[in-house]
Structure 1
Amino acid sequence: MANYFVGDIQGCFHELKLVLSKVAFNPSTDCLWAVGDLVARGDGSLQTLQYFKSLEGSAKVVLGNHDLHLLAVHGKLKRVNPKDHLTELLTSTDIGVLVDWLRLQPLYQEYPEQNILMTHAGIPPQWDLKILRHQADIVADALQQPDYLSALIAKMYTNSVDKWRDDLTELEKKIYTINALTRMRYLYPDGRLDFDCKLPIEQCDNPQLSPWYIHNALLRPEHTLVFGHWAAIMGEVNSPALHALDTGCCWGEHLTLWHLESDQKITQNKLKKS
């Protein structure tokens, strides 16, 4: 059995199939782990969701910010981003089934045998494993409720909940969990989330900001963290305990696959449109 972790697909389905063909991925024996943002900017969001749903137990998925936004768009809470290519997905006869499947996916995945944790954007440095599991499970449960749109999705669009505190309300804790696990890049010295800067580290001109993963963390070095979300750093984290897999395929760069057992990265360049 082989374990493959893939970075943000964002609807780049053709590139996904090509990179999987390079390793002869076999769903009957192998497992495909996806760091989230299955949908959005590429033109194959429908096919991507259909494929992962068809894999059933051979795939481990976490939700990304674009996946959560799809729930809001489908629920008529938000309009489609003009930069996204979701028309085929949203008008598909499968959309209801795929949305119901998507909201069953968690915000974190764990491979305890190898001490690997996977989320979309990262894990707050001040969280231990107990907090991660508890908070992510609470959000997952909320997404599976009949009122998930009004009780959670409609209320998650706020930057005001930017720091973890024990005295947050239950709703605020859910919002912080979503913000941290699906949107986090830079942190202030006191641990507050910054929602504005998406630049590579060398281009960030705010001396108060630093990447979340260089802060002292309760989960490292015992755990290996796998994440995506931050295409601008192009996988450069300089730590064997971190695997940043978003390498900007939807922006014209490439899709990255990490083969756990050999510790090798396999890539597929973005296909040029004819």
Structure 2
Amino acid sequence: MANYFVGDIQGCFDELKLVLDKVAFNPSIDCLWTVGDLVARGSGSLQTLQYLKSLSGSAKVVLGNHDLHLLAVHGKLKRANPKDQLDELLHSQEIGNLVDWLRLQPLYQQHSEKNIIMTHAGVPPNWDLHTLKEQADNVSKALQQEDYLTSLIANMYTNSVDSWNEELSELEKKIYTINALTRMRYIFPDGRLDFDCKLPIQQCDNPQLSPWFDHKAKLHPSHTLVFGHWAAIMGKVSSPKLKALDTGCCWGEHLTLWHAESDQKITQNRLKKS
């Protein structure tokens, strides 16, 4: 059995199939782990969700910020970004079932035997495994409630909840969890999340900001952390215990697949569209 972890697909379904063909991915014996942002900028968001849903237990999925935004768009809380290519998905007869499937997907996945943890954007440095599981599970439970749109999704669009403490309300804890696990890039010295800078590390001109993974952390010395979300760094991180897999396929770069057993990365360039 092989474990393959893939970066942000963003609807680049053709590229996903090609990179899986390169490793002869077999869902009968192999497992595909996806770091979230399954949909949006590529033309194959519908096919991506259909495929991952069809893999059942052979796919381990976490939600990214674009996936959560899709829930809001489908629920008529937000309009689709004009740059996203979601029309085919949103008008599909399967959209209801696919949204319900997305709502069942967690914000973190763990491979206990290999000490691997996967989230979309990373893990706050001051969180231990218990905190990650507890807070991510609370968000998942809220997504599975009938009133998930009004109780959670409608309230998640805020930058005001940017730091963690136990005094936060239950809703604020869920919002912080979403912000941290699906939107985090840079943080301040005191641990506050920054939501503005998306630049490569060498180009960030704010001396107060540093990548979340450069802070002393409770998890990644003992665990390998797999994440996506930050295409600008093109997989370049400060430790072999970090696997940054978003390499900007939807922006014209390539899709990255990490084979956990061999610690090898396999890539597929973005296809030129006619």
Q: Which residue of 2 aligns with 1:245?
A: 245
Q: Does structure 1 conserve the Cα–Cα contact (< 8 Å) formed by 2:180 and 2:193?
A: yes
Q: Which residue of 1 aligns with 2:176?
A: 176
Alignment of 1:113-262 (within 5 A): 113-262=113-262
Q: Which residue of 2 aligns with 1:91?
A: 91
Gap runs ≥5 in structure 2: none
Q: Which residue of 1 aligns with 2:69?
A: 69
Aligned residues: 274
Gap runs ≥5 in structure 1: none
Q: CA deviation at 1:157?
A: 0.3
Q: Which residue of 2 aligns with 1:16?
A: 16
Q: Summarize deviations over 1:146-192 as a string: whole Å, max 9, x none.
A: 00000000000000000001110000000000000000000000000
The DSSP-based 3-state class of the residue aligned with 2:20 is: helix
Q: Hey, what's the Cα distance between the residues in 1 that align with 2:231 and 2:265?
A: 16
Q: Hey, what's the Cα distance between the residues in 2 that align with 1:268 and 1:224?
A: 23
Q: CA deviation at 1:20?
A: 0.2
Q: Hey, what's the Cα distance between the residues in 1 that align with 2:218 and 2:135?
A: 16
The DSSP-based 3-state class of the residue aligned with 1:113 is: coil
Q: Hey, what's the Cα distance between the residues in 2 that align with 1:178 and 1:71?
A: 14
The CA RMSD over aligned residues, in Å, is 0.4
Q: CA deviation at 1:31?
A: 0.1
1:47 matched to 2:57? The reply is no
Normalising by the residue count of structure 2, what TM-score does the alignment of the two structures yield? 1.00
Q: Does structure 1 conserve the Cα–Cα contact (< 8 Å) formed by 2:121 and 2:228?
A: yes
Q: CA deviation at 1:205?
A: 0.4
Q: Which residue of 1 aligns with 2:59?
A: 59
Q: CA deviation at 1:241?
A: 0.4
Q: Which runs of 4+ in 1 moved over 2 A?
A: none
Q: CA deviation at 1:220?
A: 2.4
Q: CA deviation at 1:268?
A: 0.1
- Structure 1 counterpart of 2:149, one-letter code: L
- Structure 1 counterpart of 2:83, one-letter code: K
The DSSP-based 3-state class of the residue aligned with 1:51 is: helix
Normalising by the residue count of structure 1, what TM-score does the alignment of the two structures yield? 1.00
Q: CA deviation at 1:46?
A: 0.1
Q: Hey, what's the Cα distance between the residues in 2 that align with 1:82 and 1:91?
A: 15
Q: Summarize deviations over 1:244-269 as a string: whole Å, max 9, x none.
A: 00000000000000001111000000
Q: Which residue of 2 aligns with 1:30?
A: 30
Q: Hey, what's the Cα distance between the residues in 1 that align with 2:244 and 2:122?
A: 9
Q: CA deviation at 1:273?
A: 1.2
Q: Hey, what's the Cα distance between the residues in 2 that align with 1:270 and 1:16?
A: 10
